Structure 1
Amino acid sequence: MKNKRLVAFDLDGTLLDEHRRIPAMLVQRIQELQSLGILFTIATGRMYPAATRYIEQLRLHVPIITCNGAMIRDHRQDQVMHHQVLDQGQTDKVLQWLREKGHRVLRYSFYGDDVFTDTPHEQTTRYEEGLGVTFMSVPDLELQVQQLAKHRHPTMLVLMLEAGVAQALSEELMSLLGSSACITSSNDYFIEILHPEASKGEALACLAAKLGIDQEQVIAIGDNRNDLSMIRWAGTGVLVGNAPPAIHHEANLITQGHRSYGVLEALEKLFP
């Protein structure tokens, strides 16, 4: 595909293997393609500090997309190029609704590079370890958000709950918030709440425009529902083999390989 100039890939469940590593053969292939002028970027639900190790490993040359598209950050200049925050009213509404309903969920408020939580739990510890960052524990997240509102608004609210419960709660939140927020999910355990115009697709379109790259020249590779906006937008949308079968119809290419091996398979097919 000689006309393809930019490849964007998700991290968890896509670029990373089951040990949250990028296999050496995939790193080598990406660097070979970069030497030929193909640009690569990350489009992840993670916050920026949780992605930096992979930026360095791949030696990426262009800004990356974080927080499910709410932020674009240029790591070379440590500059935020694009940042969409949640409306304070919607943030308060979600936290108040969770309290009134008595839903048993772990909740996290992302503010750029900082994460606050009032639900310490072994799952929270595993979440921190997986991201490689430390969250700030506070007595009351609702109060913390209100106190920060004078000078900061959250980039994203994340709820963690049992598999099978997330879908029903997500539908309730959609009814509560309507079009005033974007509600997505990176796996069966998470619900992510963002600015209504924040998505990986919108951020990828913004980044491509800044780089002077046409839509048809972009490849997007992902594995889950929060990747669909960029897979739909890109000239070529790819889902790796571990993507839920219910969303396979959204992609131009479905790989046989799972996770990082699916990414390698896609690159071999698209750049023979």
Structure 2
Amino acid sequence: MEPKGVIAFDIDGTLTHRLDWIDPKVVQRLEDLTRDNWRVALLTGRIFSFAWNILQHLNFPYLLGVQNGADILEMPSKKSLKRNYLSAQIIPQIEKAYLSQKEDFIIYAGIDKGDFCYYRKERYSEKMVQYLKVLEKLGAAPWQSSDFIFDDTYTFPLIKCFGEEKEMRTLYNILKHNPEIEVSMIRDPIDRALYLNLITHPEASKGQAVHFLREYFQTPLVIAAGDDHNDLKMLQEADVGIAIETAPEEILAYADVKAKPASELGIIDAIEEAIALASRT
């Protein structure tokens, strides 16, 4: 039987307001969708091991796009369906953009290498070192100290930058013009005082992931739900977009349906409204 369509969800701020838990009512609704012949996809900026912490108990088939779609996996088998990684040759360009920054960036190694992170501890303030310790605990393996000098053939899924909003905005405005990368600036779900710039391959974005899902399932209908700037291209690519009502204005502009916050389980009613809207178009 052909699927009714694909429904793609952001995780943090959309499905849940917590780092370690998705409300069972939301999980049940996702499972009901799969039983009703919808294909469910979860698209997140999280690394795989961090996402797996809250997804390992899901008992239904779904697709998972981690690090904004750098890896797309069939779950629960963990079969790789699509991968777009950055080349180490991009690092000097990021270094140049970082000349005015107070702190440093980190590089994620990817699922196959253990899902750990490379970092240069000596380049961080003590306050940021404490933040990095929190990040490290969310992953699957200890981080590795590095000089960030790799063979040109070395590839990895994500560079993460973090800092205060003004600093990250300045960095974003430099990086966004580089055609060799995709960059999205979002609020940090771990420390709300910080902002992130997530740097991936130009074909690794949630929008590209939605495009892939449409072709993979050969369906003309995609519904997508998100709440931050890395969800923008996903909502643009979808036929019906759901945005959490607290999302930035740029995101709300692409919302066909506005949902109550994740803390109020707003996505549950929003799904019904989006499906009803899709059936009328």
Q: TM-score, length-normalised on structure 1?
A: 0.85
Helix, strand or coil at the partner of 2:251 = helix
Unaligned runs of 5+ in 2: 188-193, 277-281
Helix, strand or coil at the partner of 2:41 = strand
Task: State the Cα distance separating 1:211 from its structure 2 match.
Answer: 1.6
Given the alignment, which residue of 102, 107, 110 partners 1:109? 107
Helix, strand or coil at the partner of 2:174 = helix
Number of equivalent positions? 258
In structure 1, distance between residues paired with 2:210 and 2:52: 18
Question: What are the residue-to-residue correspondences of 1:226-241 with 2, within 5 Å?
Answer: 226-241=230-245
Question: What are the residue-to-residue correspondences of 1:108-257 with 2, within 5 Å?
Answer: 108-113=106-111, 114=115, 115-119=117-121, 121-129=129-137, 131-140=138-147, 142-143=148-149, 146-147=150-151, 149-150=152-153, 152-175=154-177, 178-187=178-187, 189-214=195-220, 217-257=221-261
Helix, strand or coil at the partner of 2:159 = strand
Indicate conservation of the 8 Å contact 1:162/1:189, yes or no. Answer: yes
Task: State the Cα distance separating 1:208 from its structure 2 match.
Answer: 2.4
Task: State the Cα distance separating 1:139 from its structure 2 match.
Answer: 4.4
Indicate conservation of the 8 Å contact 1:242/1:258, yes or no. Answer: no
**Structure 1 residues 37 and 63: CA distance shift in structure 2, 3 A:** same
Task: State the Cα distance separating 1:106 from its structure 2 match.
Answer: 4.0
In structure 2, distance between residues paired with 1:132 and 1:88: 22
**Structure 1 residues 245 and 26: CA distance shift in structure 2, 3 A:** same
In structure 2, distance between residues paired with 1:107 and 1:167: 15
Task: State the Cα distance separating 1:262 from its structure 2 match.
Answer: 2.3
Read off the aligned partner of 1:223 and give its amino acid letter: D
Task: State the Cα distance separating 1:35 from its structure 2 match.
Answer: 1.9
Helix, strand or coil at the partner of 2:90 = helix
Where does residue 16 of structure 1 map in the other structure? 16
In structure 2, distance between residues paired with 1:260 and 1:38: 24
Percent identity over the alignment is 24
Task: State the Cα distance separating 1:16 from its structure 2 match.
Answer: 1.6
| Larger proportion of helix | 1
RMSD (CA atoms): 2.3
Indicate conservation of the 8 Å contact 1:73/1:79, yes or no. Answer: yes
In structure 2, distance between residues paired with 1:59 and 1:213: 24
Indicate conservation of the 8 Å contact 1:242/1:259, yes or no. Answer: no
Q: TM-score, length-normalised on structure 2?
A: 0.82
Unaligned runs of 5+ in 1: none
